[in-house]
Amino acid sequence: MRLGRSIRVVSGSCLFHTGLFLSIPVWGIPSLATAVLPFRMRYGFISKWCRWVLWWLRVCCGVRVEVQGLENVPAHGAVVASKHQSAWETFALATWFHPQSWVVKRQLLRLPFFGWALRLMQPIAIDRGAGREAVQQIITQGGDRLRRGRYVVVFPEGTRVPAGQRGRYRIGGAILACETSYPIIPVAHNAGEIWPRRGFLIHPGTIRVRIRPPLASNDCEPGALMGAVADAIETVMPAISDDGYSGTHYSRKLD
């Protein structure tokens, strides 16, 4: 039985990654032609690829999604602060928060097809090593995106953290929320247990998502706000984890 399950996991993962790889130019080339369209039409076309990836993931690997808290998504712009464990959330968040702009590494825009299409989505592309300059870029460009009615998605932990662990929550998204007075929405999930970071094998199962109530940013202090975001996410992680969540040592010092 274990051998049969292992074979299904390997074959399903191979099929998924092959389809994902082939879909990048297949979807990316026509996406470039949308550059002449208004943003929302362009976004609508390109974001359908994210939905296709999630469908393909379910077909190949048996990955399903259980989401709670959709009533907490405001009708218009907000800062979205998500747990970061996997590649999965980069596709899935577009399902519930749209249109959206990501805060991404500038290097991603150089990738053939994927990066070129991503540029058309008007992300906030930063150099992580730029320090204050990067934070100011998030504030300036993020504020513009929020005023246009978009969601700005940030991953406060900065990089993907292994399932069962807790990263240091960086303060950039909270600064954006406080500077613009837009709410910030914490999002918890256990995707890293199904699709591990830097992992090739994807396991069948259910990814559980919890969209927490928005946190007001009026008259706030960014460090305290990001502390509240971290608490809102991390307090529900043990309940949605299949493998156990240790809540490993985490510095309360926020950047």
* Span 9-52, pLDDT tens digits: 999 999 999 999 999 988 888 888 888 888 888 888 888 999 99
Q: What's the pTM value of the predicted model, to 2 decimals?
A: 0.89
Q: What is the mean pLDDT of the chain?
A: 88
- CB-CB contact of 34 with 20 (8 Å): no
Helices (H), 84-218: 88-96, 114-120, 132-147, 172-180
* Span 40-59, pLDDT tens digits: 888 888 889 999 999 999 99
The 8-class DSSP code of residue 139 comes to: H
Tokens of 72: 């907490």
- The CATH architecture that domain 2-240 belongs to is 3-Layer(aba) Sandwich (3.40)
Reported residue count of the chain is 255
Model pLDDT, residue 254: 37
- CB-CB contact of 69 with 212 (8 Å): yes
Structural domain boundaries in the chain: 2-240
Say yes or no to pLDDT of 85 above 90.
yes
